[in-house]
Homo-oligomer: A and B are copies of this chain.
């Protein structure tokens, strides 16, 4: 199977699972499920669950065991976008080519839909863990990794510093902090969580962690480049917003050519960190390259 075919297959697996985990309901609280689904099922690259699947495969693990934790991370990612798009945060009207959650459901429901997705991420993982209690400690460890990555010393930490930096010139240190936390933490989480569930050795864990850190950084550099060079039709959201918001990005700090050079270098390093896995690393290598070449 080609990289693209496998990627598409796995995206379908994730979408089917998300669809069944958060079904439409006809209960008094049905609006919350409708609002959760609106953002959760709006497409998206499913990069985080795919990363978990790929790590599971490289470690000869059982994908069914990784699936709920992978989907939980996608739910956390989605909730962060819903809250981030709100008028009191980034104030965005479009996301993935559709109106943002609060534009459709109103701000009150959008707050609750975000809360509900974050809460359900843990509910889902805990339900699965109770029902499948083999390797219980590995699963609790995976949930711990995910909770830390999405919390105040991870993603939310990055969001708060990002929020406070709006309209200010920020240092390279601050920009790196924002990226590492706001984006990087939740790209690292599926890699480390899958490794915990699939009982990675210490050496394997170290290599995978380095890989995850590098592609997290590469992902952010590429995002900054796309904000300058991408188009509304392909991106599904307005571009050039970093310049309008006077945001410090890799491009504003280093220029577009240097940013592209860094992107290639870091991706190369990411790929090299997987050498111990031999040809089993092929999918992750392709994935790293795909992240560099993507146009949205």
Decide if A83 touches B111 in the complex (CB within 8 Å). Answer: yes
Chain A, residues 141-182, CB within 8 Å of chain B (1/0): the string is 101100110111100111111011000000000100100010
A119 surroundings in chain B (CB, below 8 A): 118, 147, 150-152, 156
A interface: dominant SS:
helix
Assembled-state Cα–Cα distance A86/B86 (Å): 13
| Closest residue on chain B to residue A34 by CB atoms | B160
A133 in contact (CB, < 8 A)? yes
User: A111 with B88: in contact, given A29-B153, A177-B28 (CB under 8 Å)?
Assistant: yes
Decide if B126 touches A31 in the complex (CB within 8 Å). Answer: no
Chain A, residues 82-119, CB within 8 Å of chain B (1/0): the string is 01001011000000000000000011111110111011
State how many angstroms separate the Cβ of A112 from the closest Cβ of chain B: 5
A122 in contact (CB, < 8 A)? yes
Decide if A137 touches B136 in the complex (CB within 8 Å). Answer: yes
Decide if A29 touches B144 in the complex (CB within 8 Å). Answer: no
Decide if B156 touches A116 in the complex (CB within 8 Å). Answer: yes
User: A116 with B151: in contact, given A32-B156, A107-B88, A108-B89 (CB under 8 Å)?
Assistant: yes
A88 surroundings in chain B (CB, below 8 A): 106-108, 110-111
A248 in contact (CB, < 8 A)? no
A129 in contact (CB, < 8 A)? yes
Decide if B123 touches A147 in the complex (CB within 8 Å). Answer: yes
Decide if A120 touches B29 in the complex (CB within 8 Å). Answer: no
Most central of A27, A106, A174 by chain B CB within 10 Å: A27
Assembled-state Cα–Cα distance A116/B163 (Å): 14
- From B126, B136, B160, contact of A112 by CB (8 A): B160
Assembled-state Cα–Cα distance A86/B88 (Å): 11
Assembled-state Cα–Cα distance A83/B82 (Å): 14
User: A29 with B118: in contact, given A36-B152, A126-B144, A140-B126 (CB under 8 Å)?
Assistant: no
A130 in contact (CB, < 8 A)? yes
Assembled-state Cα–Cα distance A25/B147 (Å): 19
A127 in contact (CB, < 8 A)? yes
A33 in contact (CB, < 8 A)? yes
Interface residues of A (CB under 8 A from B): 27-29, 31-33, 36, 79, 83, 86, 88-89, 106-112, 114-116, 118-120, 122-123, 126-127, 129-130, 133, 136-137, 140-141, 143-144, 147-148, 150-153, 156-161, 163-164, 174, 177, 181
For the complex of A and B, the 3 pairs showing the least CB-CB separation, nearest first, are A88-B107, A29-B157, A123-B147
